[in-house]
Amino acid sequence: MAEAAILGFLQNNESIPDSGKFAAELNLDHEEVKNVIKSLQGFRYIEAKELKRETLVLTDEGKKYAAEGSPEFHFFSAVPEEGSISKDDLEKKLDASVFKIGSTQAAKKKWVAMGKQVSRKVQHVEDKVKESLLLIQQGLELDQESLNSLKTRKLIVTQGWTGYSDVKKGPSYAPKRKIFATDLTRENLQNWKEMEFKEYNFNAKGQPLDAGHLHPLLKVRKQFKDIFCQMGFEEMPTNNFVESSFWNFDALFQPQQHPARDSHDTFFLKAPSTTRELPEDYVERVKQVHESGGYGSRGYNYDWKREEANKNLLRTHTTAVSSRMLYALAKGPFTPKKYFSIDRVFRNEAVDRTHLAEFHQIEGLICDRGLTLGDLIGVLQAFFSRLGMPKLRFKPAYNPYTEPSMEIFSYHEGLEKWVEIGNSGMFRPEMLQPMGLPEDVRVIAWGLSLERPTMILYGIDNIRDLFGHKVDLDLIKRNPICRVGIE
């Protein structure tokens, strides 16, 4: 519509001097006219200059007075030609705002004498305010004094206006826009002599491919895997989400009354609710160490219950996998090992912006003769340096299965503070000895979540944007394939 009008007009006329007036004359929407001019200019059908000016527009109050007349005029009209009327009567007769504004303005203009009684001072008045507002509405000029008074009464405001001037034919002008073929289809190629093809744009980025996308967690997992592999670690099999309480807790010397075993923290299974088999002789040694100790320990001194150990659950940490692996290792002639795993764990927690009921745990352990706390610190230092976190601090902590235990803190350059990044320790003899590992074998181990470093690396502050049913799919699709450096 607007396009035909502009191209058609330029066929017989030199130029369109003002897009606003052009639109008004032809009853076209000026925004549409502007868009068409911009597009035709891009294809060089036409040339145009941008035009900026300030226009006056009526406020809502101004529009009301333009349509109905000013309050002072209504006020004046309500005062009788002869004699007078009481102020109270006038107030009853008129709208509250008309009375309030009208009385002040009419008095200021000396149209009326105001007292308890109100009377006319002149016989005839003209509603100049209404007339001026109508002129402005029609886009006509007005003297400065009237403009100023309308502005102070907030009946009009100035508004920026943009349009085009000097709209003329351009080098590619045609009375009608040509449609170019944009695709090399079979039909287009067969009729190529009659067709006009759009010029090839070698700078265009091309259509984004609708392909699969790697989740940030998968990318960071790969990064951790690579670090473990470079350091000579083997991956542990973590394919059993369902585990017995025995491997998840008892084998780790966690007493059966430990609060973490409570259903507040653990998802227990309804069916099958118990495990089918456990290695009986080892179970017996675990029972012993819990009840009365051994291997230099006094134990916990309570009645260890087999039923409690049999209960199936969703594993609460991948340390359950470590305990199975160490037990398996203890069966053969001893060989030192470096194991790692990265997989899902489950905790019955209230979900919030930093907690989910399921998340991923990264676990590393080294099993060798004569390892010390110094080895643990050194390995952690090497491990986290490879991640770009060389500044570490350790804080004494408690785990039922490690002694000593240390929380790991890393200095976050962006946040300018120390943040907790993991937990670590040396597995207790009460855990290792019943498995049958030689007495001088020590195991150093650490664990951390995969979500936390991923959130830090990708600048995500709500875990639910990363994982779960509220995940932001756009973030998954648009996140960079690789990141350079670590902020």
The contact set with ligand PHE (CB under 6 A) reads: 317, 319, 363, 399, 402, 423-425, 445-447
CB of 234 to ligand PHE, least distance (A): 16
- Could you tell me which residues are beta bridge partners of residue 458? none
Report helix, strand or coil for 50: strand
CB of 436 to ligand PHE, least distance (A): 20
Instruction: Compare residues 99 and 253 and give the one whose CB is closer to ligand PHE.
Output: 253
How far apart, in Å, are the Cα atoms of 374 and each of 319, 402, 426?
A: 21, 15, 11
CB of 265 to ligand PHE, least distance (A): 11
Beta-sheet pairing, 156-169 with 242-244: unpaired
Instruction: Compare residues 163 and 425 and give the one whose CB is closer to ligand PHE.
Output: 425
The residue behind tokens 């994982």 is 467
Instruction: Compare residues 71 and 422 and give the one whose CB is closer to ligand PHE.
Output: 422
| Nearest in space to 265 (alpha carbons), one of 379, 350, 363, 150 | 350
How far apart, in Å, are the Cα atoms of 295 and each of 151, 289, 393?
A: 93, 8, 32
Give me the helices (H) in 126-178, please: 128-137, 144-152
Q: Which residue of this chain has its Cβ atom nearest to ligand PHE in the complex?
A: 447
CB of 317 to ligand PHE, least distance (A): 4
Instruction: Compare residues 308 and 407 and give the one whose CB is closer to ligand PHE.
Output: 407
Contact 443, 429 (CB under 8 A): no
- Could you tell me which residues are beta bridge partners of residue 200? none
Instruction: Compare residues 410 and 423 and give the one whose CB is closer to ligand PHE.
Output: 423
CB of 283 to ligand PHE, least distance (A): 21
Instruction: Compare residues 105 and 399 and give the one whose CB is closer to ligand PHE.
Output: 399
2-12 and 30-42 are packed helices; what angle lies between their axes, rounded to 10 degrees? 70
Instruction: Compare residues 283 and 366 and give the one whose CB is closer to ligand PHE.
Output: 366
Instruction: Compare residues 70 and 423 and give the one whose CB is closer to ligand PHE.
Output: 423
Instruction: Compare residues 75 and 446 and give the one whose CB is closer to ligand PHE.
Output: 446
CB of 218 to ligand PHE, least distance (A): 22
Contact 101, 109 (CB under 8 A): no
List b or e across 315-333, with b for residues whose CB sees 16 or more CB atoms inside 10 angstroms.
bbbbbbbbbbbbbebbeee
- Could you tell me which residues are beta bridge partners of residue 342? 362
CA 124 – CA 149 distance, rounded (Å) = 22
413 DSSP 8-state letter: T
CB of 316 to ligand PHE, least distance (A): 7
CB of 247 to ligand PHE, least distance (A): 13
- Whether omega before 404 lies within 30 degrees of 0, making that bond cis, reads yes
CA 403 – CA 444 distance, rounded (Å) = 10
Instruction: Compare residues 103 and 361 and give the one whose CB is closer to ligand PHE.
Output: 361
CB of 383 to ligand PHE, least distance (A): 13
CB of 334 to ligand PHE, least distance (A): 20
403 DSSP 8-state letter: E
Structure tokens at 214: 């790697």
Contact 125, 70 (CB under 8 A): no
Largest CA distance in the chain: 124
